[in-house]
Amino acid sequence: MSLIEIAGVLLLLMMVLLSGGVWIAMTLAIVGFVGMTFFTGTPPGKNLFTAFWGSNASWTLAALPMFIWMGEILFRTKLSEEMFEGLSPWLNKIPGRLMHTTILGCGIFGSVSGSSAATCATIAKVALPELVKRGYDEKIALGSLATAGTLGILIPPSITMVVYAVAADASIIRIFLAGFIPGFILMGLFSGYIALWAIMHPEKQPAPGVEMSFMQKLRASGNLIPCTLLIVFIVWVLVAGLATATECAAYGVLGSLAIAWWGGSLTWKSFFDSLLGATRVSCMIMFILAGAAFLSMTMAYTGIPRALAEWVASLGLSPYALIGVLAVVYLILGTALDGISMIVLTSAVVLPMIQKAGFDLIWFGIFIVLLVEIAEVTPPVGFNLFVLQNMTGKDSNTIARAAIPFFVCLVICIAIITVFPQTVTWLPDVVMNK
């Protein structure tokens, strides 16, 4: 069979299993096992164990359950409700009001966690119940959470950025700096759409709250101070190089417990409920990661990603036509691979093409990260879709449809950095050339 036929068979099998209600992680592992058994000469058993162990035996990944536990503590101890009560007076006159907290929360938390899954899961756990309870449209909330959760890999630090920097032999610091401005642009686009939607659909959001004076707003926001200080502290120790992301996650859990205890909302029941909730969500995410790692290993052995990259190289395209075709190729790969695998499996062929076409490797790194973000919300293997599906019980296709307007915002952001590459390269050049 040709590589295209193999890819078609594996994709069809995945769709059948997902449609039949098979667990997402099991579906990914089964497709990987079938692909490795019938379309490669490699024994699947040993590679299955290697992929499952390698994907989860990571010190960096230890930050994931800790950050999720932090979100569970905020959710179970009424700290999240107090945070929303404090934010509400300040957002009262902005179209969309508290809907913007999903974007802001994902942006801030993404800068701490560096993980799309942790960002999506944590902010969804805190924000979604509060927004629904207050009468906001659940569909827009789900769409914004699915896409804004991807800010975890665009706003530094980011594991995906580190992998790209290593593959491209580029400066990790320059890659990190390059992500800030596109990250803020993307947050602006997301919030802009929410404001536009709110103006067009005023009936799908609660009525504005009572107007308050500046001092009344400050008093109402008193409960924000402890959580704000905790977030600022976590970001500061990370940026200052005083702690790793995993250590920051531990500080976040300890700080959340301390704040909940000080506020009198921490009980043994809420403690154990938060721990069990974090365990369930973390196991779900890690199981999916393991299945995705095994499927990525199968794809590598079949040679499909490399063949796609070599096919693009053989076309002899102009620079911007090359970028357009690569965007389509990466979007196709994103339906079956996680972002790190997409970069690792194609970099050896793609990066020389990019350099020859005259593109800056730092710019291309952010370009790929944005494409990886799109892959996170693209069925059938949209990782953030899976996270929200397991957390809310909503079908992943329902969440994907809710995310379409925000998906368009991602595409617009890619167009902006392509037309104006200085949005990516300006900050690294200014900081590193001093």
pLDDT tens profile 188-225: 999 999 999 988 888 877 776 667 777 777 776 776 77
pLDDT-derived band of residue 239, with 50, 70 and 90 as boundaries?
low
pLDDT at residue 396 above 80? Answer: no
- Identify which of 139-153, 240-254, 259-273, 412-426 has the greatest average pLDDT: 412-426
Q: What percent of the chain has pLDDT over 70?
A: 87
- Asked if 43 contacts 50 with a C-beta cutoff of 8 angstroms, the reply is no
CB atoms within 10 A of CB 140: 24
DSSP annotation of 201 reads -
Residue 165 CB contacts under 8 Å (≥ 6 apart), including other chains? 171, 172, 175, 365
pLDDT-derived band of residue 423, with 50, 70 and 90 as boundaries?
very high
Mean pLDDT value across residues 134-140: 84
Token pair for residue 355? 């350099």
Token pair for residue 389? 């599906």
- Asked if 341 contacts 296 with a C-beta cutoff of 8 angstroms, the reply is yes
- Identify which of 75-89, 115-129, 267-281, 286-300 has the greatest average pLDDT: 267-281
pLDDT at residue 97 above 70? Answer: yes
pLDDT digits (tens, 9 = 90+) for 111-121: 655 567 767 77
Q: What is the pLDDT of residue 115?
A: 65
Q: What is the pLDDT of residue 62?
A: 75
Token pair for residue 222? 């008193």
pLDDT at residue 180 above 80? Answer: yes
pLDDT at residue 7 above 80? Answer: no
Q: What is the pLDDT of residue 380?
A: 67
Least confident of 46-55, 221-230, 326-335: 221-230
**Nearest CA among 387, 283, 295, 389 for reference residue 342:** 295
Q: What is the pLDDT of residue 420?
A: 92
Q: What is the pLDDT of residue 366?
A: 92
pLDDT at residue 108 above 80? Answer: no
**Nearest CA among 411, 328, 334, 416 for reference residue 377:** 334
Q: At what angle do helices 245-262 and 224-239 cross, to 10 degrees?
A: 160
Q: What is the pLDDT of residue 210?
A: 65
Task: Report pTM.
Answer: 0.70
pLDDT at residue 425 above 80? Answer: yes
pLDDT at residue 348 above 70? Answer: no
Burial class (CB in 10 A: 0-12, 13-18, 19+), 133: exposed
Could you tell me which residue, 237 or 418, shows the higher pLDDT?
Answer: 418
Q: What is the pLDDT of residue 386?
A: 76
Task: In whole angstroms, give the CA distance from residue 157 to residue 242.
Answer: 14
pLDDT-derived band of residue 363, with 50, 70 and 90 as boundaries?
very high
**H/E/C letters for each residue in 69-100?**
HHHHHHHHCCHHHHHHHHHHHHHCCCCCHHHH
Mean pLDDT value across residues 31-49: 84
Q: What is the mean pLDDT of the chain?
A: 79
Q: At what angle do helices 268-302 and 24-39 cross, to 10 degrees?
A: 20
pLDDT at residue 11 above 80? Answer: no
Q: What is the pLDDT of residue 192?
A: 92
